[in-house]
Amino acid sequence: MDARDDRESRALAFLVGSGAPAIAHPGGNLFDHLNRTAATLRTWEASETVVLAGLCHATYGTDGFAIALLDPSHRNDLREILGDDAEALVYLYGSCDRSFKGTLPEPGRHLFRDRFTDRVSAIAADTMKDFVELTFANELDVERHSAQPALRQAIETYLRALSVHARPPAWRAFVDRYGS
């Protein structure tokens, strides 16, 4: 078993132990959604870091999904499972205040507000691309499993706003779903 498989196995055990299979989510339960998100990222040939983050992206809850499997004060627990980079992306994803409309203060950087701390900071272009790739995989899965037209419209609008940062596989999946 290589390091990636070990981290993934430990992540799956963490999710099961945290009750993710019993938490309702569009398309069944949270555990299934997290697995579908990671599988989508794999098909897009996302980095191992992004795939692992996709598998655990709702660990701290999100701005759109309030249930947390782990309090952000226990980030070290998830770092031990996923590694530093994947956990940092999980935290970034979970802490993102979606109502904050960041600006581009300089080329390759984006302002971001942490909903847990209210801290505003700039994130690098590569980090933004990882965040957006994860966002596209998550939101497209939610949209596929939602019967709510208003939610589907909100997802389309949100992803279009992020599209400038989307990697080609994520953008192609979006276009296949919504058109260009």
pLDDT at 3: 65
- CA–chain centroid gap for 108, Å, is 20
Q: Output the pTM of the full model.
A: 0.93
CA distances, 22 to each of 10, 29, 56 (Å): 18, 6, 15
Residues of the chain with pLDDT under 50: 104-105
pLDDT at 65: 93
pLDDT at 71: 97
Query: Which of 137, 121, 115, 122 is CA-nearest to residue 42?
Result: 137
- At residue 109, the 3 state secondary structure works out as strand
**Contacts with 70 (C-beta within 8 Å, 6 or more apart), sequence order:** 18, 59, 60, 77, 78
Query: Rounded distance, CA 131 to CA 148, Å?
Result: 25
pLDDT at 2: 65
Query: Rounded distance, CA 43 to CA 133, Å?
Result: 12
For 90-119, letters b (16+ CB in 10 Å) and e give: bbbbbbbbeeeebeeeeeebbebbbbeeee
